[in-house]
Amino acid sequence: MGKSSLLNALTGRKALARVSHQPGRTRQLNFFECQNAPLVLVDMPGYGYAEAPQAVKRDWQGLMLDYLRGRPNLSRVFLLLDARVEIKTSDETVMELLDQSAVSYQLVLTKADDVKPNALKRKQDEVVALAGKHPAAFSEVITTSSQKMTGIDDLRAVIAGFI
């Protein structure tokens, strides 16, 4: 369960964002306007494990950066990292591009329920250290599980702080 599952858990709606078992099914920007708050959530294409040709992934990256640049009303980007796997070069590349674009972002570990506690602690420490190396990265890392709802209230609280 990835981005769409997290978005569904965050909003408390099981089918708001379409969930697929195949990574990379989100191929465009999907906007979700909140009815009770002046807030819009944007689900963007993934870039890491998506099953798509490299040229398509580069196009997604360009689409993402074109959308993010020069957007003063953008409060924060949440960059999702799978807690089960190592940090990829593509993750660091996106972080560097966000730094260069001066886009504030926060790292969110997903799928924490699939990782044993000691390994999860090591991953959390690794990601906190990684965030500390990037000027546009927010220092706090949020650890989540859409399955067990771990960290969802924390993420909601951060988002509520923007309203």
Domain that holds residue 127: 3-160
| pLDDT (tens digit per residue) in 71-100 | 778 888 899 899 999 998 888 888 988 888
pLDDT of residue 83: 93
Q: pLDDT by residue (tens digit) across 114-128?
A: 999 999 999 999 999
If one compares 56 and 125, the residue with the highest pLDDT of the two is 125
10: enclosing H helix or E strand:
helix 3-11
Q: How many helices (H) and strands (E) does the chain have?
A: 5, 5
Helices in 30-151 by DSSP H: which ranges? Answer: 54-68, 89-100, 117-132
Whether the predicted pLDDT of 105 surpasses 80: yes
Predicted TM-score of the model (pTM) = 0.81
Q: Which CATH number belongs to the domain containing residue 127 in this structure? A: 3.40.50.300
Closest alpha carbon to 144 in 118, 119, 120, 128: 120
Contact 31, 109 (CB under 8 A): no
Give how many domains the chain has, as a whole number: 1
